Structure 1
Amino acid sequence: MPLDAQLTLVVLTHDRPALLRRTLQYYSSLSAHVLVLDASLQSAADIAALFPQVDYRHVPQFAETGVQSRIAHGVTQVATPFMAFVGDEDFLMHDALARSVEFLAVNLDYGLCHGYCLMYQAHGDKVEYFRRDKKGQEDFADDNSGERVLSFMDHYIPPFYAVTRTALLQQWFTALPQGISGELQEFGHAYFLLSAAKARTLPIPYVVRELNHRLSDRPTHMLKKLSDSDPSAVLERHEFAGFLAALTRADGDLNAADGTEQVKKAYATLQACLEDQRSLGLTSIVLSRWNDVFKPADRQFGPRQFVEMPFYNQAFFDVLTEIEFLIHALPAGKLQMEQLEGTWVQHEVLLRAHGNDNSETIANRMWEAMALNIFNPHIVEPLAGLLARQGDPEEAVEMSRWLQRLNSVHREDHRVTLADMPSGQLLQWLDARQPSPVDAQAILSRIDSLGGGPQFGILLLDLNDDMPKLQVTLDSLVEGHCKTFKVVVFTSGEPPAATSAQNTLHFVKVSKSNWVDKVNQIARQSTCNWLMLAEVGDAFTAGGLLRASLELQAAPDCRAVFADEVQREASGALTHIMRPGFNLDLLLSNPTLMSRHWLVRRDVLVEAGGYSADFAQAAEFELLLRIIEQGGMGWLAHLDEPLLVTDAQPLEENPQQRLALTRHLNNRGFKAQISPAAPGAWRIDYRHIQRPLVSILVHGVDDLPVLQRCLASVLLRTRYANYEVLIADDHSVSAELSEWLGRQQKGRVRVISMDQPLRQSALINALREQATGEYLALLSAHGEVISPNWIDALLNQAMRPEVGVVGAKLIERNGTVSQAGLILGMNGGVGSAFVGEAKDAAGYMSRLLLDQNYSAVSNACLMVRSALFDDVGGLDQGHFADAFADVDLCLKVAQAGYLTVWTPHVQFVHSGALPDAPQTLAALQDKWSGAFAHDLAYNKNLQLTGKGFTLAQADGSSWAELLA
């Protein structure tokens, strides 16, 4: 009989179209009947249409019911005597399937047949192979079904993907109850089949399966399930054993109790097999790289080989080559796609034309791209054409053959895939952000009409003598719209030309030990208005310096400016760093991301003393700290525009940052302690000596159990000793609550009786009049203190002379963030980013872990100096009686010249719910229209919706706005 009349291969897939495309490409040449069960909500009929010989079934009704229901349905659709399952990520050997069918067709007392498994892990540039199965017993033919089961469990190789008699699987899945755990299903699958028939493991390669956590951990999960001593787990195994015993007991065989014990004996046998790793393991044996069109894949064998396994022969490696080609040509899977994202970005950059291109530079870039990955036809095609025109004829023919091979498979365009990836979206955003030629010319004309823009001095470090990287930077400057710049290259190599400071491009020879002194010397002699330190390889965006020219022209008092940037990860993938406006605390907390690539006015840089050779690894950060010490925080500005595409700095501890920060804080009178807060970021303990009295004003009192929980959390968990608690009784709530409040006049707690019911802002103001503390802590009665050092951590910031208000991280009881500082304009009003994130998540630019400045924080947990609270008039109980008075307070404090600090080191349980008061919100927006037009703690290039910190839509309209 032909194979398609004997065998049905059931492909299981769910929401993985790239893997489905690849697996159908692989099985399209298999002569068996291929049945696809696709539980995706959206049909992949367009992919299936590429392979008309495949029987594609879209079964979205099983999307939520689990794999068991889908498989149980699938086995009823099989008409051939034999069948096998396969996942969309795995490759069953065509020849092995045929040989397994041949074996079962001849040996009628056998129920299943398979061979040995090899595991693979696909990376962007390589495939790693692992031995999983160990050589052992291969024939399980004992006539006694109990002994046959035990011998199989004693050398257990999962039989799920084996070629199996269809009738047996139909019987098994018809009997299998719903709701059985995956591990027990797997055990029962093997137990039932071995009870019903004999099994054979042929000494052949049978399947190449993807290594991923779900599958590679399966033995560990199984072992955990079998060894779990929890009573519920023991009961679960016992009940399943009873089910299996009843299902597999033949007439006259063991009674029910003995049958159950036999299953439990099989449990123990399999547990011992897994514990001893008798049959399953995971050892890397081959690492295969395929990076040369003209050579086969380069396979490096590991130090330990298992020659007893049937993988070591040319026939198998020929099949492996075909599989490997599909893995690379039709990439899929999370890890592989993550790594290819960076490669494809580099390909896109290398494919872009430059004004000074010639055939040689184009060819060089194409070969550079091929060195990264040879499976992108958009690189291979132009290179094949180039070779045909001017290269080696033999190479041209070989390259054309390679292109034909790539085009022979049904692939999705890499560029379409990249466009949906974060890096691809960022590339599109950057392209859309560029000014049109008309806008660029209009801005240049405007600059000229105002007397000409500033001249930028680019101080370019080339400490590794890297000419290709230098060319990247120079090309970006030449192709940009701004031409008012001079470049000084500080190179450790031999300058390619003799130049002088008068040249637009000037080379200065330096060493890694003296470059700082040379940079300072050039800075003192420079005729440029603004200076920036950069490195070769940094690429300037087309419009960044142009926008800086126009905006700096309107801000002559500006001392230093920092902009946004796009960073290249080590993999080549891109990420955006959209910084807030000048944010002192984020600068101190995260200098790695906040202190690089500042434009500093030349006279300011020189007056500050230039860069310090003692802090060469944190030169820009240390200089900024001195600039702040000498001139304060005034006229330190931010440009909401990416200026550079640059390599990401490693997020690791930088000792020179810590030293610079310690020196700066010492100069400001703090004996601070600096400790790591996140990779590459810092937490500052200012080590204040004073222990001022803190008055805790509890507000929102309307529910007795809620208030009791809040007050208990304060009294029982607060480590700080010098505090008082003030609670208002305004007789607006239940008599029970008023009576309870009347009994609380003791110890630290003071209950202030009001003559009449007051609205929230007025009530807090009234409590303030009775408070004697130097600092006020506003606390919502609907929250709960969980950090014993919460007052200490708030005072750590509040006692700094430049700080006015300090707020906390609000979290839900389930451990997710409910509020992390307030952003003006978020979701149409006032909102918070990061809502729903895990409380310990890092967040964008690690901002969920770091002290920083926000425009406003919530009075659910807020600290303010009492005198400052009075100076700004307290809470506005007229306009913001019940809503947004906290936001108004923070903005008044900022108007008075003080910072609002949000600290993640105080966590307060609270829903973070914001008031639904549209009229009051409108009044707030009207009063603070400038702040709402652009919240300086956020970035104009980011969306003000959802969780925030995602790119907003980019277009060229912002350039026209500059000319308005």
Structure 2
Amino acid sequence: MADDPARDLAAARRRIEQLETALMRRTELLEQKQAELAAVRASKAFRAASLINKLIDRLFPLHTRRRTVLKRTARRLTAIPAALLARRKAANGPPPDERYLSECTPPDEYRRWIGKHEPDAAALMKQRAHRFSRAPKISVVVPVYNPPAGFLEAMIASVRDQTYGNWELCLADASTQPHVRPVLEKAAADSRIKVEFLAENRGIVGNSNAAAASATGDYLALLDHDDTLAPFALHEVVAAINESPDADFLYSDEDKIDTHGDRVEPNFKPDWSPETLRSRNYVCHLTTLKRALYETIGGFRPGFDGSQDYDLVLRASERAKRIVHIPRVLYHWRMHAESTAFVKGSKNYAFEAGKKAVAEHLTRLGIDASVHDGAVQGLYQVVYHLRTQPLVSVIIPNKDQVGLLSRCVESLAKSSYANYEVVIVENGSTLPETHAYYRELQKQPHARVVEWTKPFNYAAVNNFAAAQAKGDLLLFLNNDTEAINPDWLEAMVTQAVQPGVGAVGAKLYYADDTIQHAGIVVGMGGVAGHSHLFYPRQASGYMQRLRITQNVAAVTGACLLMPRAVFAEVGGFDEGFVLAFNDVDLCLAVLKAGYRVVWTPDAELYHLESKTRGYEDTAEKQARFRREYDLFHLKWSSFLKAGDPYYSPHFRLDRPDFALKAA
């Protein structure tokens, strides 16, 4: 076959892109390890170890018999058998790529976590003896309709076993099966258990309201007739109320009970996340509402069977004074043939009712939007409608690299969103073709080039450009990005103009279609790291997070959209962060000012990270990185100590795959 130069050139380019992507991935890992190393060196333990090493050098000088004996003794004392090493390796869980195609925590990993993190018998006994300064009555509300006797008995027993004593169990029974009534009559011998036998089945909504009507407690905790509570559930709820007395809406983490009776699929949730809730009912179980709030919103509403809890939660969120997330697994959702926990597609009517609940929630808030089916059943996509198209200033710093820049700009031109301007920030280009490209680009009415003549400082460069931009929205975009879907910018703009939103990020891929950015976890790797890093494009992510619009603590500056007014309010980028962490710092300033940061998978781009800025591969760059690391810790120490509110404290911070902490 004759040589085909065009084909060979295309193949060579593909190979170069593959090699560049591999290099980017290694660089990402290297920078994460550099941050972790900086954290270690800054620790008290490291400083203490350094002092000890100096003392050892003084008492046991190198190349002396004393030093040789010391080393030999140390090796013997610290030797670990190979079998123990293997067990330790296994305890760390499977390597990340084995987790990519699952949205759930591996069962063995969760089983180990339970053993290390949940209270044992002694701790439960201590809880029973504890006296809270505030001891509200909790009414556990349960509608009952033909559950298996064993499941019903287990539910009742789980309430009776609570370590917190000031509760009542309110049951409304509409069962038609004869086995249910004897179980409930026996339970009613306990004065804390109220049972109302309904004359007819009123449906899940009517039965739930009937159960709630008999409640006399200060708070209502919602429980299904076939599920169970952890023995410490109400204790944790009351502890949270004592810590936050104004809390009128509380929710916890949860897991499932499989058909073998094993606890599986824990759902470790984020703190309050409005955008996440519009994408799916992540709140779910255990939900506890102040009775006054429940009554104010009118309880459960007819017309939402199957998603009545979702509708209730959405309405409660609109009126709540304070919403508190309890990061403990307090609720066990039983998987069986009739449960939505078992077969995700088994109750289509519930999914449609959920869609209706979200749509009406948005209408009540005065938000013009439509609700569509999400990637899979149980997920929703909210499409916000724009009455006008605000001008977006797309700010792109650039130094040479015309090939990358032209691809980036061309992909912008294919966007379905028309009202934008391109502001190229020229900083030190030397190639003639770069300036020739600038001249051609500026012939277009929406494009211009501004020149930065000072030493490169990413934060300062973007502040400089933002001051000259004309748009109401500012999009900070790297020149090594390329849009994939034509409506990507519209998807970001519709999020950015929503009330309370301060910054929006996109879903970014490496050239090999693995995840480069799906939101930033603050604290990961010492400062910040990307969640789901290197996951394949088709992966759903932990609890479907790669498929839904959600709240996060920060998004990458490689593609960051925010209202100009918010950017000005928080003072723009902090120019003390010359290159690293400036985007994370900006997002934390946005959060501190009371706004939300949103990540959406509906905006997809490729990002060849670091192609223009290079790598942290010199002593000077590493020293700069360390200065910025120290500055971030100084500025945001309280946030780092409290932890990222959108990433469970039970997840490890040394890997991006939502692996659980071992201890």
Identify whether the pair has TM-score above 0.5, normalized to the shorter chain: yes
Offset from partner CA, 1:682-706 (integer Å, 9 cap, x none): 0010112211111100125452322
Is residue 506 from structure 1 mapped to residue 189 from structure 2 by the alignment? no
Change in 2 beyond 3 A, CA 1:603/1:780: same
* Matching residue of 1:461: 143
Q: Which amino acid aligns with 1:643?
A: L
Q: State the Cα RMSD in Å.
A: 2.7
Please point out which of 945, 950, 958 is paired with 2:654.
945
Structure 1 unpaired stretches of 5+: 1-415, 955-964
Offset from partner CA, 1:551-585 (integer Å, 9 cap, x none): 22111101111111111356766211111111111
Distance in 1, Cα, partners of 2:468 & 2:329? 51
CA deviation after TM superposition for structure 1 residue 462, in Å: 2.2
Distance in 2, Cα, partners of 1:828 & 1:490? 51
Distance in 2, Cα, partners of 1:460 & 1:865? 45
Q: Which amino acid aligns with 1:483?
A: G
Name the SS for the 1:656 alignment partner. helix
CA deviation after TM superposition for structure 1 residue 795, in Å: 0.9
Please point out which of 408, 432, 439 is paired with 2:116.
432
Is residue 495 from structure 1 mapped to residue 194 from structure 2 by the alignment? no
* Matching residue of 1:620: 309
CA deviation after TM superposition for structure 1 residue 524, in Å: 4.7
Name the SS for the 2:146 alignment partner. coil
Within-5 A mapping of 1:851-930: 851-877=549-575, 879-911=576-608, 917-930=625-638
Q: Is the 8 A contact 2:502 2:595 kept in 1?
A: yes
Q: Which amino acid aligns with 1:930?
A: S
Within-5 A mapping of 1:297-308: none
Q: Which amino acid aligns with 1:495?
A: R
After TM superposition, the score normalised by the length of structure 1 is 0.52
CA deviation after TM superposition for structure 1 residue 784, in Å: 1.4
Q: Which amino acid aligns with 1:926?
A: L
Q: Is the 8 A contact 2:398 2:426 kept in 1?
A: no
Is residue 651 from structure 1 mapped to residue 344 from structure 2 by the alignment? yes
Distance in 1, Cα, partners of 2:534 & 2:646? 20
Is residue 725 from structure 1 mapped to residue 422 from structure 2 by the alignment? yes
Offset from partner CA, 1:699-748 (integer Å, 9 cap, x none): 25452322222222223x22211110001123365455345434432212
Q: Which amino acid aligns with 2:554?
A: A
Distance in 2, Cα, partners of 1:642 & 1:495? 30
Q: Which amino acid aligns with 1:621?
A: Y
Name the SS for the 1:848 alignment partner. helix
Within-5 A mapping of 1:362-761: 422-445=106-129, 447-448=130-131, 450-493=132-175, 495-496=181-182, 497=185, 503-510=191-198, 511-514=200-203, 516-569=205-258, 574-591=264-281, 593-631=282-320, 634-647=321-334, 649=341, 650-652=343-345, 653=348, 654-677=351-374, 678-715=376-413, 717-731=414-428, 733-734=430-431, 736-747=433-444, 748-761=446-459
CA deviation after TM superposition for structure 1 residue 452, in Å: 4.8
CA deviation after TM superposition for structure 1 residue 931, in Å: 2.4
Within-5 A mapping of 1:211-360: none
Distance in 2, Cα, partners of 1:674 & 1:927? 40
Q: Is the 8 A contact 1:810 1:912 kept in 2?
A: no
Offset from partner CA, 1:46-78 (integer Å, 9 cap, x none): xxxxxxxxxxxxxxxxxxxxxxxxxxxxxxxxx
Q: Is the 8 A contact 2:112 2:662 kept in 1?
A: no
Q: Is the 8 A contact 2:397 2:426 kept in 1?
A: no
Distance in 1, Cα, partners of 2:233 & 2:399? 52
Q: Which amino acid aligns with 2:507?
A: K
Change in 2 beyond 3 A, CA 1:571/1:687: farther
Change in 2 beyond 3 A, CA 1:500/1:468: closer
Within-5 A mapping of 1:834-853: 834-853=532-551
Larger Rg: 1
Change in 2 beyond 3 A, CA 1:521/1:584: same
* Matching residue of 2:33: none
Q: Is the 8 A contact 1:524 1:606 kept in 2?
A: no
Distance in 2, Cα, partners of 1:556 & 1:422? 36
Distance in 1, Cα, partners of 2:139 & 2:400? 62
Q: Which amino acid aligns with 1:423?
A: P
Structure 2 unpaired stretches of 5+: 1-89, 95-104, 336-340, 617-621
* Matching residue of 1:270: none
Distance in 1, Cα, partners of 2:464 & 2:315? 43
Change in 2 beyond 3 A, CA 1:738/1:480: same
Name the SS for the 2:396 alignment partner. strand
Q: Is the 8 A contact 2:521 2:528 kept in 1?
A: yes
Distance in 1, Cα, partners of 2:217 & 2:290? 9
Change in 2 beyond 3 A, CA 1:537/1:502: closer
Q: Is the 8 A contact 1:530 1:601 kept in 2?
A: yes
Distance in 2, Cα, partners of 1:463 & 1:481? 27
Offset from partner CA, 1:636-669 (integer Å, 9 cap, x none): 1111100011125243451110111111111222
Q: Is the 8 A contact 2:143 2:207 kept in 1?
A: no
Distance in 2, Cα, partners of 1:925 & 1:862? 23
Distance in 2, Cα, partners of 1:439 & 1:526? 30
Q: Which amino acid aligns with 2:174?
A: S
Distance in 1, Cα, partners of 2:437 & 2:410? 14
Q: Is the 8 A contact 1:490 1:508 kept in 2?
A: yes
Q: Is the 8 A contact 1:808 1:908 kept in 2?
A: yes
Q: Is the 8 A contact 2:530 2:656 kept in 1?
A: yes
Change in 2 beyond 3 A, CA 1:936/1:760: same
Q: Is the 8 A contact 1:859 1:886 kept in 2?
A: yes
CA deviation after TM superposition for structure 1 residue 590, in Å: 1.2
Distance in 2, Cα, partners of 1:909 & 1:772? 26
Offset from partner CA, 1:174-206 (integer Å, 9 cap, x none): xxxxxxxxxxxxxxxxxxxxxxxxxxxxxxxxx
Q: Is the 8 A contact 1:461 1:533 kept in 2?
A: no
Identity %: 26
Q: With a CA cutoff of 8 Å and minimum separation of 6, indicate the structure with the bigger relative contact order.
A: 2
Change in 2 beyond 3 A, CA 1:889/1:835: same
* Matching residue of 1:932: 640
Q: Is the 8 A contact 2:310 2:354 kept in 1?
A: yes
Q: Which amino acid aligns with 1:434?
A: E
Offset from partner CA, 1:755-806 (integer Å, 9 cap, x none): 4344111111111111111111110012212221111010121111121111
Name the SS for the 2:580 alignment partner. coil
- Which piece of structure 1 moves more, 806-815 or 617-626? 617-626
Change in 2 beyond 3 A, CA 1:517/1:761: same
Offset from partner CA, 1:307-341 (integer Å, 9 cap, x none): xxxxxxxxxxxxxxxxxxxxxxxxxxxxxxxxxxx
Q: Is the 8 A contact 1:480 1:543 kept in 2?
A: yes
Q: Which amino acid aligns with 2:457?
A: R
Change in 2 beyond 3 A, CA 1:637/1:604: same
CA deviation after TM superposition for structure 1 residue 615, in Å: 1.5
Q: Is the 8 A contact 2:398 2:424 kept in 1?
A: no
